[in-house]
Amino acid sequence: MSRRVAVVDLGSNSTRLLIADVGADGTITERERRSTVTRLGQEVDTSGRLADEAMERVFVVLAEYQDAIETHEADVSVGVLTSAVRDAANGAGFTHAVRNRFGIAARAIPGEEEARLTFLGATSERSDPGPVAVIDIGGGSTELVTGDEEVLRFHVSTQVGVVRHTERHLHYDPPSGVQLQELREDVAGTFAAHVPKDLGVSAAVAVAGTATQSAAMLGTDTLTQDDLEGLLERLAALPLDARRSVPGLDPDRAPTVVAGVAILLEALIAIGLESAEASDHDILRGVALQHTAFLAPPPQF
C-alpha cells in the first residue's frame, strides 16, 4: 500500500515541491514537481540572518504549493530546511512559522543528514551498484557524498553555494575574469581542505538546479569538464539580462548560474572525474522515502 507524500525543500536559492506516491517497497511515483527561485539565503553570508523580504518570498510560494498539496490530497506534508536556515540566527523562528502557517512538518537538518538524504534520493533507482559520488550544489552549501548500494563511505557538507559565492565574489555585470578566478580559487581551496584526493569512485551524479540547468543548456545529461568550461566562459561573458535569455536556462537562475557552473567544475576536479551525470533524483526523493522521521516531534534527528 502506498502513501501520498508532499515534500517541500526550502533551500538557500530555491523552494521546491515534490508530490509522490511512496510504496511500502520503496518505489516512488511522482505526481507533481515544482521549483521556484526564492533566494532564502539572500545576504545570510554577511548578515547572519534571514532577510524579511526573502522569508516573505518563500511564504508566497508555500501558499501556492499548499493549494497543489490539497488538490493532490496528500496524506502527509513534510519539509526540509538546509544551509540558509542552519546559518541564520532567526532560522528557528522561520521554521516555526513554516510549520504553523502551512501545516508542514518542516525540520532544519544538519549538513551530514542533508548529505545522507541526498545520496539516498540520487541512488534509490540507480541500476549500477558500484561506488559513486553524488554532488549536490545548493545556494548556501555543497554536499559531496560517496557510497555504494545506499551505504555511505564519505560525506562532507561545505560552505560553498551559488548564492553565497555570487554575493561574495561576483560584483560586476558581467563578472570580471579576476572575480571569477577568485571565486574558483575560494571554492577549490574549500574542497581541497575537506575532500580526500582518492575517493575510490569511477562515476558521479550531479543533482539540483546547477546540474539540471547545465544539462538543459548543453543538451545532454553527461556533463564533461570540457563542456562545462566552455559553458562557463560563455555565461560569464554575458551581462545578466542576456543570460536570462540563454536557451535552456530558467531566467530566475541567471543571477547565480555562473557561480554554479564554476562550483560544479571545481567539484569534478576535486573528486578527480572528467564528467558527471545530471539527475533530478535528489534530496526530495530521499526525504519522501524517509518522511516518517519528519513526523516525529522536532527539532533534531
pLDDT digits (tens, 9 = 90+) for 137-164: 998 889 999 998 767 889 999 999 999 9
Contacts 24+ apart (CB under 8 A), 31-36: 31/4, 31/72, 32/68, 32/72, 33/280, 33/284, 34/65, 34/68, 35/209, 36/61, 36/64, 36/252
Is the CATH number of domain 3-111 3.30.70.20?
A: no
Edge-to-edge, what's the strand order for the sheet holding 76-81?
Answer: 28-37, 14-22, 3-10, 76-81, 105-108
CA distances from residue 20 to 4, 78, 136, 140, 288 in whole angstroms, order as listed: 6, 12, 21, 26, 8
Give whichever of 42-51, 115-124, 255-264 has the largest mean pLDDT. 255-264
> How long, in residues, is the chain?
301
On whether the CB atoms of residues 7 and 79 are closer than 8 A, the answer is: yes
Rounded Cα gap, residues 260 and 155, in angstroms: 20
Rounded Cα gap, residues 130 and 139, in angstroms: 29
Whether the per-residue pLDDT at 301 is higher than 50: the answer is no
Task: State the pLDDT confidence band at 45, using cuts at 50, 70 and 90.
Answer: confident
Task: State the pLDDT confidence band at 298, using cuts at 50, 70 and 90.
Answer: low
- What pLDDT shows up at residue 190? 97
* pLDDT per position as a tens digit, 217-232: 999 999 999 999 999 9
Query: Averaged over 5-19, what is the pLDDT?
Result: 95
126 vs 242, more confident: 242
Residues of the chain with CATH 3.30.420.40: 3-111
Tell me phi and psi for residue 228, to 5 degrees: -70, -35
Average pLDDT score, the chain: 93
- What pLDDT shows up at residue 61? 97
Query: Averaged over 20-31, what is the pLDDT?
Result: 93
Whether the per-residue pLDDT at 297 is higher than 70: the answer is no
CATH for 126-279 is 3.30.420.150
Whether the per-residue pLDDT at 214 is higher than 90: the answer is yes
Whether the per-residue pLDDT at 300 is higher than 60: the answer is no
Alpha helical stretches, state H, the chain: 44-47, 52-71, 83-87, 91-102, 111-123, 162-169, 177-194, 209-218, 225-236, 240-243, 257-271, 283-289, 292-295
Give the cell for residue 21.
506516491
- What pLDDT shows up at residue 260? 97
Check whether the bond before 255 is cis (ω within 30° of 0). Answer: no
Whether the per-residue pLDDT at 132 is higher than 60: the answer is yes
Share of the chain above pLDDT 70, in %: 97
- What pLDDT shows up at residue 28? 94
164 vs 298, more confident: 164
* pLDDT per position as a tens digit, 243-284: 999 999 999 999 999 999 999 999 999 999 999 999 999 999
Residues of the chain with CATH 3.30.420.150: 126-279
